[in-house]
Amino acid sequence: MNQTTPPETGHAVIQSYLKTLDSSPGVYRMLDAESRVLYVGKARNLKARVSNYARPSGHSGRIERMISETATMMFLTTRTETEALLLEQNLIKQLKPRYNVLLRDDKSFPNIVVTKDHSYPQIKKHRGKKVQKGSYYGPFASAGAVNRTLNQLQKVFLLRNCTDSVFNSRTRPCLLFQIKRCAAPCVGKVTEAEYGALVADAERFLSGRSTKVQEELATQMAEAAEAMEFERAAALRDRIRALTQVQTAQGINPRGVAEADVIALHMEKGQACVQVFFIRANQNWGNRDFYPRISGPDVSEAEVLQAFIGQFYDDKEPPRLLLLSHPVEDPELLAEALAEKVGRKVEIAVPLRGEKAELVEGAARNARESLARKMSESATQTKLLDGVAEAFGLDGPPQRIEVYDNSHIQGTNAVGGMIVSGPDGFMKNHYRKFNIRGEDLTPGDDFGMMKEVLTRRFQRLLKEDPDRDKGLWPDLLLIDGGAGQVSAVHEIMVEQGVEDVPMVGVAKGVDRDHGKEEFYRIGERPFALRHNDPVLYFIQRLRDEAHRFAIGTHRAKRAKSMAANPLDDVPGVGSTRKRALLAHFGSAKAVSRANLADLKAVDGISETLAETIYNFFHDK
């Protein structure tokens, strides 16, 4: 009987690559016997770096384990070490190797934009690529920080936040003018020059020149009071007060640091927290905590910070100064790589005294406290998952719980929602929404909707992760419903050939009362948990989160369908022609009922386009 020889791994495999390498800079990948990437690294000299791994001793426990699992290696040479560093961080984010430090939460940050493509600029929140013409200020740490600042800026500078289409259609001031949050340029309550002065003041404030703005407002208030224009003086007083509130809400406002990101790391018991404070225009624009994944207790602070900074700024623009709590491995190289990305100098410093050191100490204190809270929450979560395993007879604590719910109104705008929870709590980047597409479904058929959602979910799982080694398969399914729903889902799972995923139905119980839930499993009697059981509260939170997510998704879909205009789908009809048609006929419904001769009479509508519009509605 032939036996397959297991592939060779370890130092000897790495040694065999040395004769093919030279001293070029580049990136290397270490892969296991199943071609999964274990580690991605960069080197100034590939041959020298790989020869270090070929040595049989002198490695930390983590590196020794990594070497022992290495079956093959891959190499990419680059022109410079800076290129190698940028490529390394890009590959780490794509491949998520087990032995690299990995930034797990990497969402974009919101900005404030003052538009420049309109004679009366709009001020608004912006997230994503900076494609619209305007002045961008940020980043802010969260949407909440932006909203608070925008709220106060509206009181101070009275800039509009409505869209251009709403602005152009106004015939009288909106409520924001009545409550002194907007100057109402839409109906001529302020001239273009006066509004331009307000915009200039807002931009000066966002650029850090707020003292000058306050001085000018104080002067104007005194002049108004002297001229006995008491109403105008009171309005200016309110604007000064609002400006002061903005500065107070921002907390730390360093005098000697105009633009910087303050990055502090705290590590404890194999876990890490990085706090990032955003200082722009001498103002604190909020902070965010991150919990990078580290692969062992022997990872150094320098390695964690180096990896974090490289991945964090992979798709973000770094400021002119980074203030760090610990030195990184290659500060000059990292600064050069960041400077190359943005086309200007980026300085990296570890301050030891003065205001900058105080900023770093504040961030480090936040990192320390955040990690303590996180570890406490993780310990609680671990106990809850142990309780779930015991309550539902699972083989071990579930690492991935998926919870499903549907939302609709009499079958319209139906959506399914899936939320995911694990050892670190809710895994929001794994949430999924499902637009119910089944045309043969009876409106309000919850069984049919759940069948479609679960069928699509597991068909995709079987396609994307057939070997179940990517961590995408659930250890437990929670279904909102009783015996009927559980039975229907079980049939779906059998059809898909997936019968080994535990599943529990959560029904409201007696009087549909919170706290009297009953749990259903295939082939077993329903049961309930003690009224004060922490596991019961945990299941309730999971179900409520799934309900919240499904309802929110349904409302967004419904709002989009209500705002949709039938003219949007007519080929050849853009915004200008749509405005002309609506101005001529008054509504999209009137356009759809118009005859061909009336359509041809509209300015800007050619004979061919009129026939296209007529055929679009009447063919339907």
Decide if 239 is inside a domain. Answer: yes
Rounded CA gap, 236 and 241, in Å? Answer: 9
| Average pLDDT estimate for 564-576 | 77
Dump the DSSP string for 582-615. Answer: HHHHSSHHHHHH--HHHHHTSTT--HHHHHHHHH
Across 222-241, average pLDDT: 78
Top pLDDT among 261 and 569 is at 261
Judge if 268 and 127 occupy the same domain: no
| 122 and 231 fall within a common domain | yes
Q: What are phi and psi of 275, to 5 degrees?
A: -100, 130
Average pLDDT estimate for 349-368: 93
**pLDDT surpassing 90 at residue 235:** no
Q: Where are the alpha helices (DSSP H) in 465-563?
A: 483-496, 534-563
Structure confidence at residue 476 as a pLDDT band (50, 70, 90): very high
- Pair 265, 215 in one domain: no
pLDDT digits (tens, 9 = 90+) for 284-328: 888 899 999 988 788 999 999 999 999 999 888 899 999 999 999
The pLDDT, as a whole number, for residue 510 is 61
- E-state strands within 390-516: 401-409, 412-422, 425-426, 432-435, 476-480, 503-507
Residues 466 and 325 in one domain: no
Give 479-507 pLDDT, tens digit per residue. 888 888 888 888 888 888 888 899 999 98
Whether the per-residue pLDDT at 563 is higher than 90: the answer is no
Average pLDDT over residues 358-372: 93
Containing domain of residue 19, as a range? 11-95
According to the model, what pLDDT value does residue 196 have?
92
pLDDT at 248: 53
The domain total for the chain is 5
Distances (CA, A) of 580 to 187, 238, 542, 564, 586: 21, 42, 50, 18, 10
Q: Do the domain assignments include residue 396?
A: no
The dihedral over CA atoms of 568, 571, 576, 582, expressed in degrees to the nearest 10, equals -60
Question: Taking Cα atoms as reference points, which of 553, 519, 263 lies closest to residue 417?
Answer: 553
Q: Which two tokens stand for residue 90?
A: 């890009």
What is d(CA 596, CA 579) in angstroms, rounded to the nearest whole number? 18
* pLDDT at position 444: 62
Q: Which tens digits make up the pLDDT trace of 457-473?
A: 998 998 888 888 778 89
Query: Do residue 420 and residue 366 come from a single domain?
Result: no
Q: Does a structural domain hold residue 601? A: yes
Residues 449 and 531 in one domain: yes
252 pLDDT tier (thresholds 50, 70, 90): low
Q: Provide CB contacts within 8 A for 21, sequence distance 6+.
A: 46, 47, 50, 75
Same domain (yes/no): 436, 467: yes
Q: What is the mean pLDDT of the chain?
A: 86
| Same-domain status, 120 and 144 | yes
Q: Mean pLDDT lowest for which of 272-281, 338-347, 567-576?
A: 567-576
Q: Residue 60: its pLDDT value, please?
A: 87
pLDDT at 148 exceeding the cut of 90: no
For the chain, the straight-line distance linking the first and the last C-alpha, in angstroms and rounded, comes to 69
In this prediction, residue 1 has a pLDDT band, given cuts at 50, 70 and 90, of very low
Domain boundary among 528, 561, 594: 561
Same domain, 458 and 498: yes
Judgement on whether residues 286 and 406 belong to the same structural domain of the protein: no
Asked if the structure places residue 106 within a domain, the reply is no
End of a domain among 515, 544, 561?
Answer: 561
At residue 615 the predicted structure's pLDDT band, cuts being 50, 70 and 90, is confident
Same domain, residue pair 412 and 535: yes
pLDDT at residue 438, as a whole number: 67
**CATH number of the domain encompassing residue 498:** 3.30.420.340
Is the pLDDT at 415 greater than 50, yes or no? Answer: yes
Residue 282 resides in a domain: yes
Strand partners, 427: none
pLDDT at position 407 is: 82
We report the CATH number of the domain holding residue 38 as 3.40.1440.10
**514, part of any domain:** yes
- Mean pLDDT on 517-537: 89
Question: pLDDT tens across 383-407, in order?
Answer: 999 999 999 999 999 999 999 988 8
128 vs 28, which has greater pLDDT?
Answer: 28
- Are 555 and 591 found together in one domain? no
Residue 39, domain member (yes or no): yes
Q: List Cα–Cα distances, 392 to 97, 109, 370, 387, 489, in angstroms.
A: 33, 40, 32, 9, 17
Q: Show which of 249, 284, 309 is a domain's final residue.
A: 249
Instruction: Report whether pLDDT(511) > 60.
Output: no
CATH code where residue 612 lies: 1.10.150.20
Q: How much is the average pLDDT of 205-231?
A: 76
Q: State pLDDT tens for residues 187-214.
A: 999 999 999 988 988 888 787 766 667 6
